[in-house]
Amino acid sequence: MPESAASSSPASPQAGADAPVVEFRRVSKTFGAFRAVRDISFTIRKGEFFSLLGPSGCGKTTTLRLLAGFEEPDTDGGEVRLLGEVVNKKRPYERKIAMVFQNYALFPHLTVERNISFGLEMRGTLKVEIPGRVRKAMEMVRLDPGQFARRLPAQLSGGQRQRVALARALVLEPSLLLLDEPLGAIDLKLRKEMQLELKQLNKELGTTFVYVTHDQEEALTMSDRIAVMDNARIAQLGTPAEIYECPRTAFVAKFIGESNFFDGTARERLPDGRFRVQATAGGGSYVVPAGPRVAEGQPVRIAVRPEWLDVFPPDQVPPEENAIAGRIRDVIYLGETLHVLVDLPGEQRVTVALRNEGQLTRPVRWQRGDAAAVAWLPEDCQVLEDE
Amino acid sequence: MSDPQAPVKLRQRILNWFHHHPQAKAWSLVLPGGLWLLVFFLAPVLVMFSYSLKERGIYGGVEDGFTVEHYLRFMDRLYLKILWRTVVDATVCTAICLLLGYPTAYVITRGGRLKGLLLFLVILPFWTSFLVRTFAMIFLMRDTGFINTLLLKLGLVTEPIVMLYTPFAVMTGLVYGFLPFMVLPIYSSLEKLDHSLLEAAEVLGARSTRRFLRVTLPLSMPGVVAGCLLVFIPALGSFLTSDLLGGAKEILVGNVVQAQFTSARNWPFGSAASFVLMALVLGAVMIYLRVRDGAEQPAER
3-state secondary structure chain B: CCCCHHHHHHHHHHHHHHHHCHHHHHHHHHHHHHHHHHHHHHHHHHHHHHHHCCEECCCCCEECCCCCHHHHHHCCHHHHHHHHHHHHHHHHHHHHHHHHHHHHHHHHHCCHHHHHHHHHHHHHHHHCCHHHHHHHHHHHHCCCCHHHHHHHHHCCCCCCCCCCCCHHHHHHHHHHHHHHHHHHHHHHHHHHCCHHHHHHHHHCCCCHHHHHHHHHHHHCHHHHHHHHHHHHHHHHHCCHHHHHCCCCCCCCHHHHHHHHHCCCCCHHHHHHHHHHHHHHHHHHHHHHHHHHHHHHCCCCC
Of A105, A106, A150, the CB nearest to B298: A150
Alpha-helix runs per DSSP H in chain A: 2-6, 60-68, 112-122, 130-140, 145-148, 158-170, 188-205, 216-222, 240-245, 250-255
Is the Cβ–Cβ distance between A385 and A248 less than 8 Å?
A: yes
A359 or A178: which leads in pLDDT: A178
Contacts of A145 in chain B (CB under 8 A): none
Q: Taken in order B163, B165, B171, B172, is the CA torsion positive or negative? A: positive
Confidence at residue A300, expressed as pLDDT on a 0 to 100 scale? 92
CA distance B239 to B131: 11
Mean pLDDT over all residues of chain A? 90
Query: Which amino acid does the sequence have at A341?
Result: L
**A228-268 confidence digits (pLDDT tens):** 999 999 999 999 999 999 999 999 999 998 999 999 999 98
Confidence at residue A6, expressed as pLDDT on a 0 to 100 scale? 40
Closest chain B residue to A118, measured at CA: B204
Interchain contact, B200 vs A122, CB within 8 Å = no
Contacts of B199 in chain A (CB under 8 A): 68, 70, 92, 101, 105
Confidence at residue A29, expressed as pLDDT on a 0 to 100 scale? 96
CATH topology of domain B78-189+219-300: MetI-like fold (1.10.3720)
* A3: confidence class by pLDDT, cuts 50, 70, 90: very low
Cα angle B275, B280, B282 (rounded to 5 degrees) comes to: 90
Closest chain A residue to B210, measured at CA: A122
pTM over 0.90: no
Closest CA to A27 of A325, A232, A168, A305: A232
Of A106, A123, A152, the CB nearest to B205: A123
CA distance A41 to A25: 5
A17 pLDDT exceeds 70? no
Confidence at residue B190, expressed as pLDDT on a 0 to 100 scale? 95
**A151-165 confidence digits (pLDDT tens):** 999 999 989 999 999
Domain spanning A258-383, CATH architecture: Beta Barrel (2.40)
How far is the alpha carbon of B57 from chain A, nearest alpha carbon, in Å? 56
Chain A residues contacting B via beta carbons under 8 Å: 68-70, 91-93, 95, 97-99, 101-103, 105-111, 113-114, 118-119, 122-123, 150-152, 168, 172
Question: Within 10 Å of residue A335's Cβ, how many Cβ atoms?
Answer: 6
CATH H-level superfamily of A3-248: P-loop containing nucleotide triphosphate hydrolases (3.40.50.300)
CA distance A281 to A346: 5
Interchain contact, B299 vs A114, CB within 8 Å = yes
CA distance A257 to A244: 7
Residues of chain A with CATH 3.40.50.300: 3-248
CB pairs under 8 A between A and B: 71
**A23-72 confidence digits (pLDDT tens):** 999 999 999 999 999 999 999 999 999 999 999 999 999 999 999 999 99
Confidence at residue B106, expressed as pLDDT on a 0 to 100 scale? 95
Confidence at residue A327, expressed as pLDDT on a 0 to 100 scale? 93
How far is the alpha carbon of B204 from chain A, nearest alpha carbon, in Å? 4
Closest chain A residue to B220, measured at CA: A109
**A299-327 confidence digits (pLDDT tens):** 999 999 999 999 999 899 998 999 999 99
Q: How far, rounded to the nearest angstrom, does the alpha carbon of residue B116 sit from its chain's CA centroid? A: 23
Is the Cβ–Cβ distance between A213 and A256 less than 8 Å?
A: no
Closest CA to A379 of A291, A265, A248, A280: A291
**A98-151 confidence digits (pLDDT tens):** 999 999 999 999 999 999 999 999 999 999 999 999 999 999 999 999 999 999
Closest CA to A99 of A177, A21, A212: A177
Confidence at residue A14, expressed as pLDDT on a 0 to 100 scale? 45
Question: What average pLDDT does the segment A290-302 reach?
Answer: 88
Of A69, A101, A114, the CB nearest to B200: A101
Per-residue pLDDT of chain B in tens (301 residues, 90 and over written 9): 445 556 678 888 888 888 888 888 888 889 999 999 999 999 999 999 999 999 888 777 788 888 889 899 888 999 999 999 999 999 999 999 999 999 999 999 998 889 999 999 999 988 889 899 999 999 999 888 899 999 999 988 888 888 889 889 999 999 999 999 999 999 999 999 999 999 999 999 999 999 999 999 999 999 999 999 999 999 998 888 888 898 878 788 889 888 888 888 888 999 999 999 898 888 888 887 887 776 555 444 3
Is the Cβ–Cβ distance between A178 and A100 less than 8 Å?
A: yes
Confidence at residue B109, expressed as pLDDT on a 0 to 100 scale? 93
Confidence at residue B218, expressed as pLDDT on a 0 to 100 scale? 94
Is the Cβ–Cβ distance between A171 and A134 less than 8 Å?
A: yes
Helix (H, G, I), strand (E, B) or coil at A29: strand
End-to-end CA distance of chain A: 9
Contacts of A118 in chain B (CB under 8 A): 201, 204, 206, 214
Confidence at residue B6, expressed as pLDDT on a 0 to 100 scale? 61
Confidence at residue B7, expressed as pLDDT on a 0 to 100 scale? 64
Closest CA to A365 of A316, A322, A306, A323: A316
Interchain contact, B194 vs A150, CB within 8 Å = no
Interchain contact, B199 vs A107, CB within 8 Å = no
Angle, in degrees to the nearest 10, between helices A158-170 and A112-122: 20
Contacts of A106 in chain B (CB under 8 A): 200
Closest chain A residue to B217, measured at CA: A109
Closest CA to B49 of B297, B268, B296: B268
Interchain contact, B298 vs A91, CB within 8 Å = no
Beta-strand runs (E) in A32-140: 34-44, 49-53, 79-82, 85-86, 98-100
Interchain contact, B204 vs A98, CB within 8 Å = yes
Q: Are strands A260-269 and A299-304 parallel, antiparallel or unpaired?
A: antiparallel
| Interface with chain B: mutation pick from A87, A102, A103, A107, highest number of B CBs within 10 Å | A107
